[in-house]
Amino acid sequence: MRYSELFGKTSRDFPKEEVAKNAKLLLRAGFIDKLMAGSYTLLPLGFRVKEKIENIIREEMDKTGAEEILMPLMHPKQIWNETKRWEYAKDVMYQFKKDDKEYALSFTHEEVVLDIVRKRLSSYKDLPIKLYHFSTKFRNELRAKSGILRAREFLMKDLYSLHASKEDLDKYYFKVAEVYIKIFERLGLKARMVEAPGGVFTENITHEFQVLAENGEDSIFYCEKCDFGQNKEIAKVKKGDKCPKCGGLIKEGRSIEVGNIFPLGTIYSEKMGIYFADKKGEKKLAWFACYGIGTTRVIGALVEVLSDEKGIVWPKEVSPYEVHLVGLNHKAEGVYEKLKGNKVDVLFDDRDISAGEKFADCDLIGIPIRLIVSDNTQDKIEWKERIGEKTELLTIDEVLTRLH
């Protein structure tokens, strides 16, 4: 892609009114646009990052045997009444009336997925059922000052699973927990699983996936030695305590929640009548859990955690492009064609502006590898990574070998 043709260039005019680092940098670097408080468009660069994040999540979901679907975003009141959440969750939901019918926008999908399942579940042989989708969520957040970390409209991956027994649910639940840690690792985030409250979902203990971050909205207590952790809201330990699991030291930290899993048990099944016949033919309630990853929130978390004073730093796996080619003479065109011909995903700054401006844009945009073609590099190409000062002069073949 030629940067001259890319829609959504870097700009010092943005942002207006934003206070969150993630939104400031993403707006300035041309990844997002702001429609109103808590509502953003993904511009081409941001869209590419989202696609890469979703593809990693999709791969890992599929490996657990989950199947991808797509559920509606506008729901009838009556489905929310079945669990009483029309009333109970009304602060967070966008509810409205049209032609005497009442609707709510999706702030989550438990009721809808259970309605789909109950029409099709009859025997224990139909279980387990594991369904996921990438979808839009609407939540009426009182404050929307954290950029894409807490938007009113945002993207999320939801997984829902139903099981014939608590044992089977627990087994899958903790398997997904492991898969989540792996997903966040692949996305470039070190997430910790901590015990957390259930909000408008459940009175049970749930598990959040938290990434330590100075500007995080959450606080967690965690063990410096093992994987023990609790959200401050429900913590039974405090800073300086001994870890109840391993005896290590408990620390406190600000953090960003990037995922949350809920072992909902049978309470939703009871309310919505989700039954199956077991091996003896007896009618039983299905065991239910849900699992979320905030996909746009992951973008925000990556920017909060990994950026530096010069701009964004994308991990390789989610970077909008593999390399950023800075062309400072006419030879750059040939290198661009060669890279493209070898299927390298390259952003080529072909503009007629100063080298300094181009380098500043590279730093702001945050693609992990920068290639420079200038009179100084002669027939070679300068390779420099976004992090670190080291530069190397390589031939095009050496560049290609290193990229593959």
User: What is the size of the binding site for its own copies (CB under 8 A)?
Assistant: 52
- CB-wise, 113 or 344, nearer to its own copies? 113
Which member of 60, 82, 103, 232 binds its own copies (CB under 8 A)? 103
* Per-residue interface string for the shown chain with its own copies, residues 69-98, x marking contact by CB under 8 A: xxxxxxxx--x--------------xxxxx
Amino acid code (one letter) for 234: I
100 contributes a contact to its own copies by CB under 8 A = no
Give min distance, CB of 142 to its own copies, in A. 9
Contacting its own copies within 15-74 (CB under 8 A): 33, 35-36, 39-44, 46-47, 50, 65, 67-74
Residue 205 CA to residue 264 CA, distance in Å, equals: 9
Q: Do 105 and 94 touch, CB atoms closer than 8 A? A: yes
Q: Can you tell me which of 12, 17, 87, 99 binds its own copies, judged by CB under 8 A?
A: 99
Q: How far apart are CA 75 and CA 88, in angstroms?
A: 16
CB of 35 to its own copies, least distance (A): 5
Rg (CA), the chain: 24
The answer to whether the CB of 1 falls within 8 A of the CB of 9 is: no
DSSP 198-226: -TTT-SS-EEEEEEE-TT-SEEEEEESSS
The answer to whether residue 174 forms part of the interface with its own copies (CB under 8 A) is: no
Spatial CA neighbour of 45 closest among 272, 303, 352: 303
Q: How far is the CB of 87 from its own copies (least distance, A)?
A: 16
Element (H, E) at 55: helix 44-63
Q: Which is nearer to its own copies, 90 or 251 (CB)?
A: 90
Is residue 299 part of the contact set for its own copies (CB under 8 A)? Answer: no
Distance CA 257, CA 294 (A): 9
In the list 29, 53, 56, 112, the residue contacting its own copies (rule: CB under 8 A) is 112
- Alpha-carbon gap, residue 45 to 43, rounded angstroms: 6
Q: Which is nearer to its own copies, 47 or 174 (CB)?
A: 47
The one-letter code for the residue type at 55 is N
Q: Which CB atom, from 47 or from 275, has the smaller least distance to its own copies?
A: 47
Number of residues that this document lists for the chain = 404
Smallest distance, its own copies to C-beta of residue 251, A: 38
Q: Identify residue 297 by its one-letter amino acid code.
A: R
Window contacting its own copies (CB under 8 A); options: 3-11, 212-220, 261-269, 314-322: 3-11
- Exactly one of 64, 141, 145, 152 binds its own copies (CB under 8 A); that residue is 152
**Among 12, 120, 283, 390, which residue sits at the site for its own copies (rule: CB under 8 A)?**
120
Q: Does 138 bind its own copies (CB under 8 A)?
A: yes
Q: 299-335 burial, b for 16+ CB within 10 Å, e for fewer?
A: bbbbbbbbbeeebbbbbeebbbbbbbbbbbeebbeeb
The contact set with its own copies (CB under 8 A) reads 5-9, 11, 13, 33, 35-36, 39-44, 46-47, 50, 65, 67-76, 79, 94-99, 103, 105, 112, 115-116, 119-120, 129, 131, 136, 138, 140, 152-153, 155
